[in-house]
Amino acid sequence: MTETVLITGASSGFGEACAKKFAQPGYQLLLTARRLDRLENLAAELRGKCPVQVAKLDVTEAGSIASFSNTLPADFKAVDILINNAGLALGLEPAQEAFLDDWETMIDTNIKGLIRMTRSVLPGMVERNHGHIINIASVAGSWPYPGGNAYGASKAFVQQFSRNLRCDLLGKHIRVTNIDPGMAETEFSNVRMKGDTEKADKVYENTQPLSATDIADIIYWVTTVPAHVNINTLEVMPVCQAWSAFAIDRKMND
């Protein structure tokens, strides 16, 4: 049976690496993002390996998701694996200085986009009693850090939404997996630093971060364990990353 894999945010980073990983016999790919030119180039590269469809889709626009679903070719309508990957961080300012627009964009993309995609695909999975939803959250959803404010909170939503989906889907052959990557070198920091390449490069300076391929390999693996096995959540960091001691201010009472 050919599995249809729908990937959001397939134009770079984890999404693009997932497209390359799943591009093999037994799969067909639905690649979505806002940058259609990138998707078309990727599809041209992968079409020799498996069937690929691309669609411009902005997860922050409900209409974009509806028109995408309505225009899918009949043989691509039954999604077996949904990789809810589209997402972003904007800024690292402390909460009192952060831009409300940035917070709203993160919420619209990381939370509302992800639940819209899920709501659009899930009824079909339930009807067919078959499917796997993979939500990309982050270590930032579990562990606070300065400037993580709305980004981390949006990823905490994804983690709990993933667990709650499992409760609602009990009794169905539908799996839900939450993936929490740590520091990975993609376009993520460029987006977060709003195009300041120097600042973005500093994030990875003198480290060996995770690569997009590392994450794609993990995502592929969680879909290939036996059908009765559900990987609920998987947190992964590069070896060079760990936690730090509690921060304690010793000057406040001076």
**In whole angstroms, how close is the CB of 203 to ligand 8X3 at the nearest point?**
7
- Nearer CB in complex with ligand 8X3: 15/131: 15
What does 136 bind: ligand 8X3, ligand NDP, none (CB cut-off 5 to 8 Å by kind)?
ligand NDP
164 close to 158: Cβ distance less than 8 angstroms: no
Nearest to 162 by CA among 110, 206, 202, 199: 110
**In whole angstroms, how close is the CB of 232 to ligand NDP at the nearest point?**
17
- Nearer CB in complex with ligand NDP: 75/194: 194
**In whole angstroms, how close is the CB of 139 to ligand 8X3 at the nearest point?**
5
The answer to whether 151 is a known catalytic residue is yes
What does 187 bind: ligand 8X3, ligand NDP, none (CB cut-off 5 to 8 Å by kind)?
ligand NDP
> Which is the catalytic residue, given 27, 145, 151, 220?
151
**Inter-residue long-range contacts of 184-187, CB under 8 Å, 24+ positions, other chains counted:** 184/13, 184/14, 184/209, 184/210, 184/211, 184/212, 184/214, 184/215, 184/238, 185/209, 185/210, 185/211, 185/212, 186/12, 186/13, 186/14, 186/212, 187/12, 187/13
What residue spans of 33-178 are helical by DSSP H?
A: 36-46, 62-70, 100-106, 114-128, 149-168
Reported as type and span, the H/E element at residue 55 is: strand 52-56
- Is residue 138 within the footprint of ligand 8X3 (CB under 6 A)? yes
Q: Write out the residues near ligand NDP by the rule CB under 6 A.
A: 8-9, 11-15, 33-35, 57-60, 85-88, 109, 113, 136, 138, 181, 183-184, 186-188, 191, 212
Concatenating the DSSP letter of every residue in 188-201 gives HHHHHTTT-HHHHH
- Nearer CB in complex with ligand 8X3: 168/196: 196
- Nearer CB in complex with ligand 8X3: 4/159: 159
**In whole angstroms, how close is the CB of 169 to ligand NDP at the nearest point?**
22
How many residues bind to ligand 8X3 according to rule CB under 6 A? 6
- Using alpha carbons, list the distances in angstroms from residue 73 to 70, 139, 225, 247: 9, 36, 29, 54
- Is residue 140 within the footprint of ligand 8X3 (CB under 6 A)? yes
Catalytic residues: 151
